[in-house]
Amino acid sequence: MVVCVCNAIRERELREAARDGDVRCAKTAFARLGAKPKCGQCLNFARNIINEPTQNT
């Protein structure tokens, strides 16, 4: 699933970025992927993915 249309970031990529490092916010995850949030519509969804309990194990 595409999380961020502006940057073509997929859910899988976001989860990998969050899992591979100490990522606690969407902007940090985007930076790890070499991107910046543009329109901001994806930030709530991205935060939810990053903060899922299973993501931090």
Token pair for residue 3?
């999380």
In DSSP terms, which residues pair with 4 in a beta bridge? 9
Token pair for residue 50?
């990053």
Token pair for residue 18?
């969050």
Confidence band (pLDDT; 50, 70, 90) for 54?
A: low
Average pLDDT over residues 13-17: 92
Range list of H helices, the chain: 11-20, 26-32, 43-50
Average pLDDT over residues 11-19: 91
Domains of the chain are 2-56 (1.10.10)
The whole-chain average pLDDT of the chain stands at: 89
What confidence score (pLDDT) does residue 56 get? 47
What confidence score (pLDDT) does residue 55 get? 52
Average pLDDT over residues 17-31: 87
What confidence score (pLDDT) does residue 18 get? 87
